[in-house]
Structure 1
Amino acid sequence: MRVVSAEEVTRHLTWEGLIKRLHTTFVNGVESPPRHHHAMHRPDGEATMLLMPAWEAAGYIGVKMVNVFPQNADHGIPAISGLYLLSEGKHGQPLACIDGSELTRRRTAAASALAAQALAVENAETLLVVGTGKLAPMVIEAHASVRPIKRVLIWGRNPSKAAAIADEYAERFETHVVEDLADAVAEADIISCVTLSTQPLIKGEWLTPGTHLDLIGAFRPQMRETDALCLRRSEVFVDTYAGAKGEAGDILQAIDEGEFQFDQIQAELAEVLTGTKAGRSVPEAITLFKSVGASLEDLAAAIEVWESLPEQP
């Protein structure tokens, strides 16, 4: 069995290859049971183990194990860590143990880029990134691989982190750190939110016609990055119905407030990609894509890494 490091994942998981692989996997489908949540009572606090299995009908088998230790913040180390175990499908033999953190970062951004490829206006040039964590650089690179991004606006609660990201990409794009989020939202063609916020950051009254709103950060019911008006003004799409119903805080809280209904979701991503349901209706429409992550995406990314590695046994 081969051990694949984070550096190898970065080197071999190109945006073009990963987005193409995700498209194929969403269209063809895989078996993907609901993720397993296991609470762990540790001496220094509560922790969670997540298990996310998926397999092709006649192909690869995989499972991601993620440990979530919020108390790690007290020690200056990441709260989330994990690995991905990929096996072949003929005999179930393990092939590779892949760094789970880098795999997750890249597949998450690539899934949003795939949605933007289907939903955002083709001439989208200005990207607003809300949040300055490890996913922020990923969504810049991923969205720029599918749309002609020229300007990148960055907003974050920590201006120095926003400035560091702006500097990192200043040679590739016209970058700006923004303080007034309302003005930045009005300027953007694509807005990508990658925060852990529990309060709305984006208000529906700020959105302008033609905008594509990409919501990544709120992956638990108690989290949200938008107010209900964002959903009411938008054509709403999700990565999967099951994930949205169980974990999409932006949607669930808007439903609890009586401002949205689950059947108002226009489509899940696979339906748009297969043409079963329509995507953006008109150029002036506002589109919203809410993702919480799916084991299908992890399996697709792991397969792409494996098949891109040189000198496979």
Structure 2
Amino acid sequence: MNANDLVILGPELSHKLNWADAVEALRKGHTFPRATISDMLIPMSDGELLTRSAAIPGLGAGTKSVTIRPDNRALSPPAPSVQGLFTLFDKERGHPVGLVEGAVLTLWKTVADSLLGASYLAMPKPSSMAVIGTGPIARGLLEGYTSLYPQLTDIRIWGRTRVRAQAIADAMTFEVTVCDSPETAVRGVDIVTSAVGSRSPVISGNWVKDGAHVDLIGAHGPEMREGDDELIARASLFVDSRETVLEHIGELCIPISQGVISTKDVKGDLYDLVEGEGEKHRCETTVFKNGGGAHLDLMMALYCFEQYYR
């Protein structure tokens, strides 16, 4: 590729991607030296503008800029709540290689991020799971987790709007039970995965069975949470990236600031898990906070371009 061959990848790319390879792309990316990353989140009209940049020696560099506007779903016609672009730069000459549409990249990166964490922390053969949330990520989580764990038979979903939860359940090729409450969804399952943009916890630690794996995705700002203090305090804690989560996302920075836990209670991130840290915790109750990061977007963008040129 040269500096004149700027490619733009959009939703049409999705049919070339699969979850197993997407997870492997993130795993392989974490075998390279730790990324240098930088985040900036600023307010904008009716939402926020998030800009994330990363450089990984041996892989390249990139920047993602997205708008986050939760009320866009209520517009007429509805619009996506997250919109943006990722720019990939050549690792040798530094020119822009191409752009990836933000929603596509964010979906595949976010779900693969959680799947990679679960592959190290969840019990080896889970039979049940609950999805909390009804956005695009929730549907991706159903598809991704059932791909990673085809033996799942008890699959549940809960969302604030039952109609939306039912629509997602009806769109799946496997049976999904729509629950009346988050407690009903969570109790007794082996894996809980949540993608709700909430400013107060929606998952109580006393609902989560011993040995379950809880995957928290929705909180992206300093005042946001999905799990309560009891859950955070009792579980073995992992994050996808220490740099993007510990000081910037309320899921952990709030309980840290209130003395519920300390930064030492976070046992590792994806770099540590890829190195083998997770095996000793697989039979424990675990929480994995998926906070994202431009280095993950970079790894996934490289996978997208590899598939595009195949």
TM-score, normalised by the number of residues in structure 1: 0.90
Alpha-carbon contact 2:130-2:156 (below 8 Å) kept:
yes
Aligned to 1:79: 81
Counterparts of 1:262 and 1:178, CA distance in 2? 35
Q: Which runs of 5+ in 1 are unaligned?
A: none
User: Which is further off, 25-34 or 197-206?
Assistant: 25-34
Structure 1 match to 2:155: 152
Asked if 1:161 is matched to 2:164, the reply is: yes
- 1:297 aligns to what? 296
What is aligned with 2:99?
A: 97
- Equivalent residues in 2 for 1:270-309 (5 A)? 270-275=271-276, 277-281=277-281, 283=283, 285-309=284-308
1:235 positional shift: 0.6
Structure 1 Cα separation of the partners of residues 126 and 257 of structure 2: 33
SS of 1:218 mapped into structure 2: coil
Structure 2: stretches of 5+ with no match in the other structure: 1-5
Kindly state the Cα deviation for residue 85 of structure 1 after the two structures are TM-superposed.
Answer: 1.2
Q: Deviations over 1:90-120 (max 9, x none)?
A: 2122221111111101100110000001100
Superposed CA offset, 1:53-73 (max 9, x none): 222313332211212345645
Q: 24, 30, 35: which one pairs with 2:39?
A: 35
Deviation at 1:163, TM superposition (A): 0.7
8 Å Cα contact 1:82/1:100 also seen in 2: yes
Secondary structure of the residue that 2:247 maps to in structure 1?
helix
The change in CA–CA distance for 1:155 and 1:38 in structure 2 (over 3 A counts) is closer
Residues 126-152 of structure 1: per-residue CA shift (max 9 Å, x gap) = 110001111101111122222232221
User: Cα RMSD between the aligned structures?
Assistant: 1.9
- 1:2 maps to what in 2? 7
What is the CA-CA distance between 1:210 and the residue it aligns to? 1.6
Instruction: Give the Å deviation of 1:51.
Output: 2.2
Distance 1:282 1:62, change over 3 A: closer
Deviates more, 1:113-122 or 1:63-72: 63-72
> Pairwise mapping of residues 44-55 of structure 1 onto structure 2 (< 5 A)?
45=45, 47-55=47-55
1:14 counterpart letter in structure 2:
N
Residue range with higher mean Cα deviation, 302-311 or 115-124: 302-311
Hey, what's the Cα distance between the residues in 1 that align with 2:154 and 2:275? 31
* Alignment of structure 1 residues 1-313 onto 2, 5 Å: 1-8=6-13, 10-40=14-44, 45=45, 47-69=47-69, 72=72, 75=75, 76-147=78-149, 148-169=151-172, 171-172=173-174, 174-275=175-276, 277-281=277-281, 283=283, 285-310=284-309
Q: In structure 2, what residue type is equivalent to 1:67? A: T
Q: What amino acid is aligned across from residue 56 of structure 2 in structure 1?
A: E
For residues 137 and 282 of structure 1, what CA distance do their matches in structure 2 show? 26
Pick which of 200-209 and 246-255 moved more: 246-255
Distance in structure 2 (CA, Å) of the matches to 1:22 and 1:117: 12
**TM-score, normalised by the number of residues in structure 2:** 0.91
Shift of 1:279: 4.0
Counterpart of 1:250, as a letter, is: E
Q: State the shift of 1:17 in Å.
A: 1.2
In 2, the alpha carbon distance for the partners of 1:61 and 1:34 equals 12
Structure 1 residue 27: Cα displacement: 2.3
Cα deviations by residue, 1:149-174 (Å, 9 ceiling, x for unpaired): 222100011011111111111x32x3
| Native 8 Å contact 2:216 2:289 kept in 1 | yes
Q: Deviation of residue 281 (structure 1)?
A: 2.7
Question: Number of residue pairs matched?
Answer: 302
Corresponding residue SS for 1:84: strand
CA distance in 2: counterparts of 1:14 and 1:219, whole angstroms: 25
Secondary structure at 2:237's aligned position in 1? strand
Describe the SS at the equivalent of 1:201.
Answer: coil
Q: Distance in 1 between matches of 2:72 and 2:180?
A: 30
SS of the aligned residue for 1:200 comes to: coil
Distance 1:292 1:157 in 2: 22
Structure 2 counterpart SS, 1:223? coil
Amino acid at match of 2:300: A
